[in-house]
Structure 1
Amino acid sequence: MSTEQTSPDNGPQGFDSDLLDRMIGAMGDAQVIETKCQALIHALCAPLEEAFQAAANIEITARPGDIHQGRRRELLKALGHDAVYCESEIPGWSQEIASLCGTKLIIALVECLLGGSDPEDLDIVARPLSAIELDMSFLVFEQLAETLQSIVAKSAASKDTGGKGIGNKAEVSKPLLEIPEEEDDVLADFHAAAMTVNLEFGNSSTPLTLIVPQSVLLKTKRFAGTTAKKPGDKSDDWAERLSERVSRSQINLQAAVALAPLPLGDISRLQPGDLIGFADDGDIEVTLSANGKALYTCALGKSGSQYMVKVEGPAGPDENWRSDFS
């Protein structure tokens, strides 16, 4: 399915700007762009599935989705709901690639890779991502960019394209929770094409959308399929990289101390300046928590003028509490 969202306006001296863009190769015929997008989407799906399998040993099915044409900002506004935004570059092909990935896929991947959940059992609701989930989204965009780079590099090397100089490695910027405002957008509002691949993981389907300039598509004569590396070829395992991000994350801690019980009537009459004793008569036991999860039992003490706690032991038998911080 393809939709054209661009409406022509007048350029300098009343000249039709869309007609001018067609003349200089910045905008293509809708059917021509549609055909090129279909070819690229079909070339992407199989190697993208293999890339996810190779990188994280997870099964994601990639199916061709919708195609849209229009100005880049219009496409972002229409397609950017409940999605993470990322810019990338393939040297020698395009420096103005943008991608959108639905948040449901990222949330599901974090739960499965970090918490060991079964993808079929997940019931994910789209929401803004946490800091760790945003880090995880980079790995999704990385697979998309590397797969796209392999396709265009192979296409450029074929005899009937004449393309040369495709870079060896795609460059991926840090993903963003929100699409940049127009005044902060470093990329131009060019004529673009948005191609969506629907990623099926477990019982959910999430759109992964690639937005590229129409001028780049017009210059690429064909898209050749490629094959990703087999599992085990990459030393950067997703689960290990995600675990490292969890370990480095800054987490706010809370220390809770049990106080002496009071009748409800006394509690209702408490005033500023009233004193309440600790429940413990000897050493004061403190429970150290984060994200509402009890982590360690501690002893309350003082170093100089600053109160501190000394970790004495785990607060419970759960050894997988790190998975609660995603």
Structure 2
Amino acid sequence: MTNPDSASQIRSLAIERLVGDSGEAAQVIGAGRTMAENAVPLLQKRLAGELGAPVTVDLRAVEVSRVTDARSHVGDTFAMTVVASPASSDTMTLVIDAPAIAVMVCALFGGDPDLPVSPIERPLSQIETDVSTLVFQEVAQALNNAGRRPLEPRLPLPRAMSGMEAKRYVLRDGAAVRIVFGISTPTDTGTVAVMIPQRILLGTDASADSPATNSDWRARFSEEVMRSTVALEATMPLARLTLGELSNFEAGQIIEFEETAQSRAQLSARNKTLFVCEFGKLGQNYTVRIKHPYDAGQDFIDGLVRG
């Protein structure tokens, strides 16, 4: 069985099993900003090659967020896509708002950049969705080449979603970095936001120079995770019975604990067993004392032996 050497190791093990690790906010933002700043000139160049009129690309924000918040910063009209890679099915989640779509459609089809574009306050048309897909393609490829290691998005990207399809799409939750690019003409501006899970970002961090750095990341957890609460459940095995014996149970029947049951209590949270404990009592209160982390493999073997 695994026996951590310190309370900090036990704490890290419990948190990792429950929610997965995430980096410290300042370091995650630093890694995301490095990637985003490298991507801006690449994206500017790529869009210039596609458009009939110039647009300006700038970096608006880099912040710690969650993947499920990807749609929370846009109105009712937007387009979205989720990009897969060999590392993950959701390496990037990209969302473009209505003003940015209007800017891109106007620029792509030769609109006057000095005149305001008409705002989009209706469901997106086929052409507007296709233009959104084009923008996502350029953003993904710019970010792919902006880190020390490529993100390797699977190309071509999935066609952009909009309307109820985009609003109902289920996003897998997880700690992420949110990168917001501005797309502007002299009269209008909009945004394209990219959510990259921290587990993906840390593998492409341009400042990751050694295995020691990656090991350090795994040992750190964000304040958000440390403040989260979970409900603990302690269970204790009763007895091993046949189905026939179980079917004969009646109301009021007393069931005896096994002789070793008190030392085999299990502490769980979110339906995940974390530790093996010893059941006891302190004054008027019942207690459990942590003995060691739960080992599913060893528990299976012990079950065969007891059987």
Q: State the TM-score, normalized to the length of structure 1.
A: 0.52
The reply to whether residue 190 of structure 1 matches residue 185 of structure 2 is: no
1:118 paired residue number: 112
Identity %: 19
Distance in 1 (CA, whole Å) between partners of 2:14 and 2:61 is 26
How many residue pairs get aligned? The number is 197
Amino acid of the structure 1 residue aligned with 2:25:
A
1:98 paired residue number: 93
1:210 paired residue number: 194
Match runs of 1:4-19 below 5 Å = none
The reply to whether residue 219 of structure 1 matches residue 214 of structure 2 is: no
Asked if the contact 1:45–1:62 (Cα under 8 Å) also holds between the matched residues in 2, the reply is yes
Amino acid of the structure 2 residue aligned with 1:124:
S
Q: Secondary structure at the match of 1:124?
A: coil
The reply to whether residue 20 of structure 1 matches residue 15 of structure 2 is: yes
Amino acid of the structure 2 residue aligned with 1:190:
G
Q: Deviation of residue 177 (structure 1)?
A: 1.1
> Alpha-carbon deviations, 1:3-23, whole Å to 9, x = none?
xxxxxxxxxxxx989972499
Asked if the contact 2:54–2:107 (Cα under 8 Å) also holds between the matched residues in 1, the reply is no
Q: Secondary structure at the match of 2:160?
A: coil
Q: Secondary structure at the match of 1:206?
A: strand
> Alpha-carbon deviations, 1:243-285, whole Å to 9, x = none?
xxxxxxxxxxxxxxxxxxxxxxxxxxxxxxxxxxxxxxxxxxx
Distance in 2 (CA, whole Å) between partners of 1:17 and 1:189 is 20
Shift of the 104–181 alpha-carbon distance from structure 1 to 2, 3 Å rule, reads closer
Q: Deviation of residue 107 (structure 1)?
A: 2.2
Asked if the contact 1:25–1:218 (Cα under 8 Å) also holds between the matched residues in 2, the reply is no
1:142 paired residue number: 137
1:176 paired residue number: 161
Asked if the contact 1:149–1:169 (Cα under 8 Å) also holds between the matched residues in 2, the reply is no
Q: Deviation of residue 197 (structure 1)?
A: 0.9
Shift of the 77–151 alpha-carbon distance from structure 1 to 2, 3 Å rule, reads closer
User: What stretches of structure 1 of length at least 5 have no aligned partner?
Assistant: 1-14, 157-162, 225-326
Shift of the 93–26 alpha-carbon distance from structure 1 to 2, 3 Å rule, reads same
Match runs of 1:161-172 below 5 Å = 167=152, 170-172=155-157
1:80 paired residue number: 74
Given the alignment, which residue of 30, 38, 41 partners 1:43? Answer: 38
- How big is the alpha-carbon RMSD for the aligned residues of Structure 1 and Structure 2? 3.3
The reply to whether residue 30 of structure 1 matches residue 15 of structure 2 is: no
Distance in 2 (CA, whole Å) between partners of 1:28 and 1:134 is 35
User: What stretches of structure 2 of length at least 5 have no aligned partner?
Assistant: 1-9, 209-307
